[in-house]
Amino acid sequence: MSHSIPSGETIRRLRKAAGLTQKELAKRAGLSQSLISRIERSDVDPRLSTIKRIMRVIEGTTVKEGQVASHIMHRPVICVNAKQPVEVVVKLMKKHDISQLPVVDDDNIPIGSIQESTIIHRMIREKDFKKFFKMPVRDVMESPFPEIAPNTPIHEILQIFLRGAPAVLIVENGKILGIITKIDLITSLLGIEAGENLRTESSLGGV
């Protein structure tokens, strides 16, 4: 499946967060329920146009009027300077339990990004791991995360993720205010009620 298309599991979570059954989603999107089921099980490789039809229905059902980026962004944003060695990235990821970081220059302006997958792919190519981890991040980083304004509507953020972005930065007047990852978006769509259900289930399984 194309990197720009959300997984079947992601679609299932978003559908449930929107309070839709497979039958309801299929009817509103003009698709068959069996196709929705196969997509969610990842048994079929759907066309991008089909995914867009599904996402339009989910967006229209889930996103409340007035919801914007600043409501769901995560902060503070953990960044890494492009001059720092890759080993610093690994330590930051482990310390903060994150899988991706914005890369900034000396003025704290985003100039790139680095993810766990970035590091793994480079490790495969490098013969000397010790030398690799001492390399400056600027020699390893990928393109910067997309930047959006604090008042960007949630449905626009959904479209950015649909195009394959791993995260988005909320920036205003050149200053990084926050970051939104896919899990941040999914969690926000699940809402407070779903969060309470998750806490209840967790407490039932505790000691």
pLDDT by residue (tens digit) across 100-155? 999 999 999 999 999 999 999 988 888 888 899 999 999 999 999 999 999 998 87
Contacts 24+ apart (CB under 8 A), 4-8: 4/48, 4/162, 4/163, 4/164, 5/46, 5/48, 5/51, 5/162, 6/51, 6/55, 6/161, 6/162, 7/42, 8/39, 8/40, 8/41, 8/42, 8/43
Quote the percentage of the chain above a pLDDT of 90: 52
Between 62 and 127, the higher pLDDT residue: 127
- The sign of the CA dihedral 123, 127, 130, 135 is negative
Any idea which architecture 69-185 has in CATH?
Answer: Roll (3.10)
Residue 64 pLDDT greater than 60, yes or no: no
Residue 36 pLDDT greater than 50, yes or no: yes
Q: What is the largest CA-CA distance in the chain?
A: 56
pLDDT at 19: 74
pLDDT at 206: 38
Of the pLDDT bands very low, low, confident and very high (cuts 50, 70, 90), residue 156 is: confident
Give me the mean pLDDT over the 8-31 stretch: 87
pLDDT at 114: 96
User: pTM of the predicted model, to two decimals?
Assistant: 0.64
Give me the mean pLDDT over the 151-171 stretch: 88
**Picking from 11-20, 28-37, 116-125, which range would have the lowest pLDDT averaged per residue?**
11-20
Of the pLDDT bands very low, low, confident and very high (cuts 50, 70, 90), residue 168 is: very high
pLDDT at 159: 83
Any idea which architecture 8-62 has in CATH?
Answer: Orthogonal Bundle (1.10)
Structure tokens that stand for 41 in this block: 């099980």
Specify whether the CB–CB gap between 18 and 158 falls below 8 A: no
Give me the mean pLDDT over the 43-65 stretch: 80
pLDDT at 201: 35
pLDDT at 66: 59
pLDDT at 43: 93
- The sign of the CA dihedral 83, 84, 85, 86 is negative
- Domain range annotation of the chain: 8-62, 69-185
